[in-house]
Amino acid sequence: MKISYAWIVELLQTDPGLDRVVRALTDGGLEVEHVAQVGTHLQSVCVAVVQSVRAHPTSKNPLSLVTVDLGQGASLEVVCGASNVPAPGGCVLFAPAGAHVFDKKGSLFELVEKPVAGIVSKGMLCSEIELGLGGDDNGIIVLDAPVAAGTPLLTWFSAARDTVLELNVTPNRPDALGHLGVARDIAALLDLPFAEPSNEPHPTREATASEQFSVQIESDRCPRFSAAVMTVAGTTRSPLWLRTRLWRLGVRAIDSVVDCTNLVMFELGQPTHVYDLDAIEGHALTVRAARSDETLQTLDGKTRALLQGDVVIADAGKCVGLAGVMGGEGSGVSSGTTRLLLEAAHFDASAVRRMAKRHDMHTDASHRFERGVDPQCPPKALARLQHWLATVAGAVQAGKSLDIQRTDSVALQPREPLVVRTSRVARVLGVQITPSEIATYLSRLGFKMLSHEGDAQSVRAPTHRPDVLQEIDVIEEIGRVHGYDKIHNAVLPASGASAGARGDYALRRATRNALAASGLDEAVTYSFVSDRVLADFAMESSVRIANPLSQDRAALRPSLLPGLLQSAAVAVRYGERRGRLFEVGTVFGALQEVSRAQELTETRANRGPVQEHTCVGLVMMGEADQWLSLARPLDLFDLKGVVESLVERLGRGTVVADRVGEPPAWAHPAAFARLTLDGEVLGTIAVLHPDVRERFEASQSVTLPAVTLVGELRLSVLAGLSEVTLKAKAPPKTPAMVRDVALLVARSHPAASVVGALREGAGSRCVRAEIFDRYVGDELPEGTHSLAISLVFRGANEETLTDVQVDQWMQAALARATETLGATQR
Amino acid sequence: MEALDAIEHDVDASFLPVQSDPELRAVYARWLGREGAVTLLMRRMPELPGPERKTFGQAINRVKDKVEAAKTVCEQRLREHARALDLGREPLDVSLPGRKPRVGRLHPLSRMMYDVIDAFVAMGFDVAEGPETDWETNNFERLGFPPDHPAMDMQDTFFLQQPDGATGPRALLRTHTSTVQVREMLSHAPPVMIVAPGAVYRRDDDATHSPMFAQIEGLVVDQGIALSHLRGTLDTFARKLFGERVTTRMRGSYFPFTEPSVELDASCALCGGSDPSCRMCKGSGWLEVGGAGMVHPTVLKNCGVDPEKYTGFAFGLGIDRLAMIRYQIPEISLLYQNDVRFLESL
Ligand SMILES: [Zn+2]
């Protein structure tokens, strides 16, 4: 919402100082987002009086050479392209070389002396657009009345310089959608006197028979309708001050009548409308529900099919306006209009909001009505409109004004008194405010103080504050006027309590730290993915967004992997050859329909409408990280090691990798592992399936590194891991004895089973067995490999082992491996 | 005896040319080895008559000591020589890269979030969480959003597809973590003192808005909680996060679920308001920390808390904005693209 500071000063009848006003508004909840000084570039512009005009001697364009008097004996011949140069004696505005004017795109540039079609012009005669005073680009500004040549523009027209404030008006403050309301708030916040402007009596006469009109309210969505007829000699161009005022607020002037309705709206926040009385069939307006087959051609030129629930203004034969949103084409004012029918009405906020939404028309009027205009305002706005029309357009009122009210309307009933307790104010704000301070603050805002009894004061909120409905709303007003900067910092009383709505925050945080420590970067990707990338992964989502921003972001992800791989691919497209990414995030299962009663039960259990799981997504691509040794491509054991160290960091547990069950579609069937943690399925790690890879590369236009490893884990399975379960062991007092052995064994036996057989055979003194090398080579028998395994023996308690004992256990271990797996020692 | 004298005479000189451990062992063996000269003489001792044997024995021992002493001196000389060689060798080229385990990084949003959470946890807050999908009941109704009111436009919502004819409350992606306020209060009676971090969603996508972003919600409900406590809490937080010199201000605002509603600003930690072209505060001297307010009595009532007995405050902070300020991130979408080259820069 743009606010003219000059207008505010006019309404306050004093200038409190720009900085004070900006600070007060911002602190008081009407944040000033931007302050713009306008018109400061007009310093050297002055009034010039035309002395003579001649045609340009050579130019083919209709250029003229105008000699102007610049006062104090100075005169100048300037080149001018406008067709409306007045006859000698007419006053125009002259900008000399060096002045700044606006170009057609709205940016300022410096005027320089330069030849126009061969003749040098030392300045120019300016249009509204060029001076930033209005939207008219159709010719130069010609003053209505004579002004002395050489008078500076800013002297003759001081409002040409102004400050425009951009206010962020929150939806609860419809009163601040007009200058009067903003001025009232400033006065209350800065403790300045405030009075609404009064209207000069305007000329009135009896209505003739043909100036009679009637208004009828049939819809309960319209509690109040004020109307009157005025006559004019035809619409005219508004005076420059009005055109400039509107232009600075972001609206282009149209004609004297429409400009006056806009002026009233920007002043009072109340939209009004003016009809051409002669275009109103039967001179009768009815506010009623739209009929199903009706259409309305709105002022923006569109024909709209009206819907059930729409409220319209209609004459005897047709709709002439969509209530509170926009007027109709054909019934509005045009240049030949002489008889005006003025409307200032109140419409129900939610009705206007629904109409504006479904017809997709957000107008200045609907913006105000849907926030709640003061229901007592229509007669006031009508009077104000009459005042301006009389002043600006020379309008004369014919007959009496009407003010029709639906007495059954809630909006028009006197507002219920509210009780505000001094003690409650202190409890909420944390600062003591006396009853008399409370009364002062509220009176400044237009509240009526009704009575005062002990702790309680009874107050009535003003009708322009529809947001004030309860004691707490009154307390906020007291706090605003008192000033939030006067509320000190208090230390919280110690009142901590454990959270009731619990999630897996701690586990997610520990997991993130552990994975980062393993050298992976964390990614955060959108929860929505495209169907296309899901199809690449042969996945389908169970939940979709009903109103997505785009179809690319319509599906809630059933897995982290598609989005994570897309992220990993971003840098690959720029030549990055390695990728190490993880994400700890939510994946979404099926949506569950619930009744209202079930919803509360589910909420209390801290569940939502969709099954959500926290997952860990893993992507590793390219070569292993090393230096000064042979480059090595990653393999699945790099990723397996990441998971193993994750488990080890979170607590202790045994991760078992096997190939049980059907692998997910994204897993290479020969290079995937199902991981279980202490018997529970943790997830899958795999080389990306070549089919998935091919589809992904095609759809994402990327070539992934030769090795791309992916994995996904269920975080909840890691929940059992805990520091709490760890138990210390005293360091053994006897040395360990180590035996290494190389075994030739068929590759069809999992390495883990070879280790298992050795440990079984070696007995209880064997405390560890680890593979430390693996060799595959052509000289070995077909289908075999050699595993180098180290076995560690240690005596129980303080028992010291002998070589003879350990050699015996080693024999037993080898015998078991040979017997069960056919392994032979190399 | 003459032989012994000759040996004694030669011992010291014999160690002088020694340059290495093997040479040392060889020279030593020449005297005291199995076939060493002194050893051989010793072996012949029994042949000597009694009285002479004693004298000879003493002489032998003297020579043996002399050999041992000369050996020790030689060893010392060799060690010193070797140490001098080691210390004087060609120095390492220390500019070669270290063999560094790859450093993985937490996402800037996680790092920012954890700093914020830790600041509040240090003040006694516990961490609560709720689901990212929720019903309109928790996202709007219980928070007192007026139905059919422009306040709803402040939060353009993603709704979830539901089967035709579904009659229950509409499911949506939560537009704020304020849903956890409701869930927390419904889960137990006051006192409540939580922060609730998490992802939230709004139908918005431009340089400063992402359709998904991260928020943290705070909620304190107990007897005797006032706006001054909110201010004190957020002031402490701002100083923990931005530095001790930072000051805060509170100004009026509007949220449907708090009354009074305020915005909290912190003074610019970078320029303190002195730089009109400051990249952090854009010259205003203030940074918006977040929206806050006293929990609306209607919200307390909707969650089964007696507003006459208890009061409370709530606040919400945008983690993305804080991270963008801290790390000077020009566009919010960079946070969700996860380009490794971006992640590695932080
Ligand atoms: Zn700054």
Determine phi and psi for A559, rounding to 5 degrees.
-155, 150
Residues B256 and B143 in one domain: yes
Is residue B100 situated within a structural domain?
no
Number of H helices and number of E strands within chain A? Answer: 21, 40
A731-740 pLDDT per residue, tens: 888 888 999 9
Chosen domain end from B53, B88, B123: B88
Report residue A538 as tokens: 């042969």
Q: Which of B192, B210, B191 is nearest to B200 (CA)?
A: B210
Q: Which of B139-143, B240-244, B277-281, B294-298 has the lowest mean pLDDT?
A: B277-281
Is residue B93 situated within a structural domain?
no
pLDDT tier at B276 (50, 70, 90 boundaries)?
confident
User: By the CB < 8 Å criterion, does A504 face chain B?
Assistant: yes
- E strand or H helix that includes residue B291: strand B286-295
User: By the CB < 8 Å criterion, does A419 face chain B?
Assistant: no
Residues B197 and B315 in one domain: yes
Is residue B253 situated within a structural domain?
yes
Residues B141 and B277 in one domain: yes
- pLDDT at residue B340 in the model: 87
Q: How close does chain B come to A354, measured CA to CA in Å?
A: 8
Q: Which of residues 576-605 of A touch B (CB under 8 A)?
A: 576, 579-582, 586, 588, 591, 593-596, 598-600, 603-604
- pLDDT at residue A586 in the model: 97
Is residue B103 situated within a structural domain?
no
Q: How many CB pairs under 8 A join A and B?
A: 326
CA distance A250 to A273: 19
Per the CB < 8 Å rule, is B343 touching A498?
no
| Residues comprising chain B, all counted | 346
CA distance A624 to A604: 48
Is residue B117 situated within a structural domain?
yes
With contacts defined as CB-CB under 8 Å, which chain B residues touch A646?
A: none
CA distance A423 to A456: 9
Is residue B95 situated within a structural domain?
no
- pLDDT at residue A62 in the model: 80
CA distance B316 to B289: 9
Q: Tell me the CATH number at B322.
A: 3.30.930.10
Measured CA to CA in angstroms, residue B74 lies from A565, A659, B28, B67 at distances of 68, 67, 10, 10
Is residue B318 situated within a structural domain?
yes
- pLDDT at residue B83 in the model: 93
Residues B121 and B79 in one domain: no
- Hey, of B161, B239, B244, which one would you mutate to test binding to chain A, going by the most A CBs within 10 A of its CB? B161
B119-154 pLDDT per residue, tens: 999 999 999 999 999 999 999 999 998 877 766 766
With contacts defined as CB-CB under 8 Å, which chain B residues touch A626?
A: 99
- Ranges of residues in chain A whose predicted pLDDT is under 70: 494-495, 626-630
Report residue B241 as tokens: 């996060």
With contacts defined as CB-CB under 8 Å, which chain B residues touch A426?
A: 226
Domain count, chain B: 2
User: By the CB < 8 Å criterion, does A621 face chain B?
Assistant: no
Residues B219 and B291 in one domain: yes
Say if residues B37 and B30 touch (Cβ distance below 8 Å).
yes
User: By the CB < 8 Å criterion, does A371 face chain B?
Assistant: yes
Q: How close does chain B come to A167, measured CA to CA in Å?
A: 12
> How far, in Å, from the CA of B326 to the mean position of ligand 1?
12
> How far, in Å, from the CA of B269 to the mean position of ligand 1?
7
Chosen domain end from B37, B59, B88: B88
User: By the CB < 8 Å criterion, does A608 face chain B?
Assistant: yes
* Ligand 1 ion: residues within 5 Å (CB): B 268, 270-271, 278, 280-281
Amino acid at A705: P
**Residue B304, domain extent:** 108-344
Per the CB < 8 Å rule, is A496 touching B126?
yes
> How far, in Å, from the CA of B285 to the mean position of ligand 1?
5
Residues B42 and B187 in one domain: no
Residues B29 and B79 in one domain: yes
**DSSP-derived 3-state class of residue A496:** coil
CA distance A190 to A197: 19
Residues B320 and B266 in one domain: yes
User: By the CB < 8 Å criterion, does A525 face chain B?
Assistant: yes
Q: How close does chain A come to B295, measured CA to CA in Å?
A: 10
- pLDDT at residue A798 in the model: 77
Measured CA to CA in angstroms, residue A156 lies from A152, A268, A523, A619, B163 at distances of 6, 28, 63, 73, 68
Q: Which of A428, A490, A593 sits opposite B162 (nearest CB)?
A: A593
Pairing of strands A680-688, A667-677: antiparallel
Residue A750 gets the label, from left (phi > 0), alpha (psi -120 to 50) or beta, of beta
How far apart are the two ends of chain A, measured CA to CA in Å?
87
Residues B302 and B202 in one domain: yes
Residues B199 and B290 in one domain: yes
Secondary structure of A134-186 as H, E, C letters: CCCCCCCCECCCCCCCCCEHHHHCHHHCEEEEEEECCCCCHHHHCHHHHHHHH
With contacts defined as CB-CB under 8 Å, which chain B residues touch A484?
A: 227, 231, 249-252, 262
Per the CB < 8 Å rule, is A429 touching B297?
no
Per the CB < 8 Å rule, is A350 touching B148?
yes
Is residue B98 situated within a structural domain?
no
Determine phi and psi for A154, rounding to 5 degrees.
-70, -20
Q: How close does chain A come to B123, measured CA to CA in Å?
A: 9
ipTM of this predicted structure = 0.89
Say if residues A497 and B310 touch (Cβ distance below 8 Å).
no
Chosen domain end from B36, B59, B88: B88
Determine phi and psi for A226, rounding to 5 degrees.
-105, 140
Name the average pLDDT for chain B. 90
A243-280 pLDDT per residue, tens: 999 999 999 999 999 999 999 999 999 999 999 999 99
Q: How close does chain A come to B207, measured CA to CA in Å?
A: 15
Residues B263 and B209 in one domain: yes
Per the CB < 8 Å rule, is B97 touching A627?
yes
Residues B62 and B133 in one domain: no
